Amino acid sequence: MEYEIIGETMPLVTLILSRGEFVKSRAGAMKWMDNSIKMETGMDGGVGGFLKRKVMKESGMINTYTAEKDGSRIAFGHTFPGHIIALDVTNNSIICQKRAYLCSTKDVELEIAFQQSLGSGFFGGEGFVMQKLLGRGQAFVEIDGEVVEMDLDENQIIKVETGSVGMYEESVEMNIEKVKGMKNMLFGGEGIFLTTLKGPGKVWLQTMPIQSMASEVSPYLNIKSK
């Protein structure tokens, strides 16, 4: 499989498949495909897989696209302003924010990742349920806004605005920390808690979480014309 990520603000990924090769995606992600691509919709993992994806706020169904001849092309697009990131999950499982999964090769699995810390579940910005990508092969995920990649050393810790964690390798430990100082909490604009990420491992941070964008836009949507 060959791929190319096109665009910046609202990108899409174009895949070129050989005959018999197939990819799978979440429902509604496909933007266009050649006539030589065959589409099938199913539960991928049975009822258990369907229910797991619903818990992750995904459609319960998975679409599979199979090439019927060499050089067949298909494209999957972004659903909000941001970036598409290509990941090889063969050696490292990745923990992602909900709704991050876009598409993948056949041997990539999408599982539930539960937050181990009560604090992270309540105040970390993503809730108790996240997505976990594992298995073998290539996956493509969506990140909100611009993306910053960091490699954390053993026991290195960074503090992140709640909601700005796009994804991280499974070796990274995520937790929350209370902002120190009453003035900082009340007037600092960062809220009461920050998310902490502890290495070793790679992390991907996003500059404009979709919930922050919605919060910025919502006052203008509520203005009533007179």
pLDDT digits (tens, 9 = 90+) for 182-195: 544 444 445 567 88
CA dihedral 92, 95, 100, 105 (to 10 degrees): 30
Q: In 3-state terms, what secondary structure has residue 221?
A: helix
Predicted pLDDT of residue 54: 56
What domains are defined for the chain?
2-212 (3.60.160.10)
Tell me how far CA of residue 206 lies from CA of 88, 96, 149, 214, in angstroms.
Answer: 19, 12, 9, 15
Predicted pLDDT of residue 87: 95
Strongest mean pLDDT among 95-99, 134-138, 189-193 = 134-138
The secondary structure element, H or E, covering residue 164 is: none
**Maximum distance among all Cα pairs of the chain, rounded to whole angstroms:** 64
CA 144 – CA 211 distance, rounded (Å)? 10
Question: Is it the case that residue 72 has pLDDT exceeding 70?
Answer: yes
pTM score of the predicted model = 0.80
Tokens of 207: 């500059």
The candidate with the shortest Cα–Cα distance to 66, out of 36, 41, 42, 103, is 36
